[in-house]
Structure 1
Amino acid sequence: MQRRQFHQFLTSAVTAAAFLSPVLVHAQPRVLLRAGDQKGGLQALLEAAGELKELPYDIKWSEFPAAAPLAEALHANAVDFGTIGDAPLLFTLAAGSKVKAFAANRSDAYGTAILVRPDSPFKTAADLQGKSIATNRGSIGHFVTLKALASVGLKADDVQLRFIPPADAKLALTQGSVDAWATWEPYTALAETGGHAKVLVNGRGLWSGLGFLAATEQALADKRAVLQDFKNRVERAQAWSYQHSKEFGTTLARIIGIPANAAQLQFERRATRWQAIDAPLIAEQQRTADFYLAAGLLKQRLDVQATFDTRFHTG
């Protein structure tokens, strides 16, 4: 075979091999999903259920102590999505964040509560008049505080609201710098099991118990298939967790760094269930937004219909 013919043969052979051999084919880069988590809840759930094994994409976890800093990260496009309660989601939407909720869950509202010291003489929300209450601005703790006050004929101006993060709020309560602390799980269970506080007012009948996975509009456009897969894994993991509550409680305690009894209490008490984003749910979120408007915390009415992405399937 002449040199020129040999060169043509070799070129053709290599070209064919490039199509046939996976080693020579340029691999597509794996999608990176930037997940915002609160106190390790989602990560613990997925890890315990084995749903983080053999992922077809990568996850970068960022943990936040509360919804407010997570919402800021969403607004700054520092994370693709995160887990966030109904009230803080409304605040970040009203501030102009380009995010939408694409998955919803509902929990028992008991653990979103107003706590007082174990020796406190307070009996009802009415006893909070003129007193100081620590919470996060725009949090579900803030929302339950306003609802609890309204239920006894009081307004926000009738108490002294101190907007500080959970760790500082707990310290302020135990040291007597504030009279009450409005918070949520797992902080409520931690305070109770640690003997630092008792529940004065729980969230049942005051708060919807709704929570969401909310993603940036860019992530919804660019990573929809990955977000759908993640949502499916979360739903499967949630079902698994209630069939293996002891095993999950142990994993949850390890990952989020709290005592096992507190982890078990908050997990079993929340009884979280993932559900479809339907008309009744959207109407409930609208009532929450309208309450914030009436309380003067939103400057203009927010139409929540546009803040949901309902194209993700459940199950």
Structure 2
Amino acid sequence: MNSPDPDPRPGLADRPARAHRTDHLELGGVGITRVTEYAGPLGMTPAAFFPTAPEETWRAHSSWLAPDFLDPDTGFINAVVQTWVVRSEGRTILVDTGAGNDKERPYSPIWGHLRTDFLDRLARAGVTPEDVDLVVNTHLHMDHVGWNTRLHDREWIPTFPNATYLIAKDDFDFWNPENNHRPVLGRGNQNVFEDSVAPVHRAGQVKLWEGSHRIDSRLRLDLAPGHTPGSSVLTLESGTDRAVFVGDLLHSPVQILEPDHNSCSCEDPAASRATRRRILGWAADRRALVIPAHLGGHGAAHIERNGPGFAIRQWAPLA
């Protein structure tokens, strides 16, 4: 689908028929399965979520953003909270663990006191908590670490008892309340470190890494700061296949087309824009599948360069 002047809008003709979609992909011998915890509106308009993006940006793209990425009735951003199950070289790896159950989130009530069947959905994907070897937290926002722990006898314990939790040291230090940092979210991430990070650290299951971390011959973690100081991306390179799990580098596909627009929760806006352009450029030049944390619909896309931004070349065959 290459062309000298690609249309940045992902048309319906480019999307695989629903009957052929699946929630599982194989790339270079690595299995990728997505398990969704939540799908729906976030209770925020595009103007609130992306304060630098003018209203005409959303009007221009509204025809294809709805319904997967924009609720046509409320005008709210639509998104999903999901975990990517990655099976590589005999190990089961979870990329992000969602919002979790029973968590107290006084300043983010949409994620508070949830009672979802996420672990049952994980089981239907063939994974029990005991099966998990590694957990990758791309960063430590509440909707990426919630299932790190579960409530047992009024105590937060690791959900995945045999797993090593890979956490960037920069994010661990930034969100540790003892260090008195003042995040953009204010109190929005309150309690998260205490109930979803500290318990796995006390249990001796956390590996803090810096710079980059090689998981195996196919998978590598790298810092991608901006959204948070320790935000990271997971890169897959195997044979001729490439993919990059970009976490919250993208919350909407509009940020592929216009990569200078940040979400309202980016700690360092300039670094976030630079990191987004760098990672998207790498993906476009290497024909790598871009896999964000929160996109609904097909969930991931191959992209290509298009003037000052990028275009969606082809959606992934995910439902």
Same fold (TM over 0.5): no
TM category, shorter = under 0.3
The structure with the greater share of residues assigned to helix is 1
What TM-score does the superposition give when structure 1 sets the normalisation length? 0.27
The structure with the greater share of residues assigned to strand is 2
- Structure with the greater alpha carbon radius of gyration: 1
Higher RCO, 1 or 2 (CA under 8 Å, sep at least 6)? 1
What TM-score does the superposition give when structure 2 sets the normalisation length? 0.27
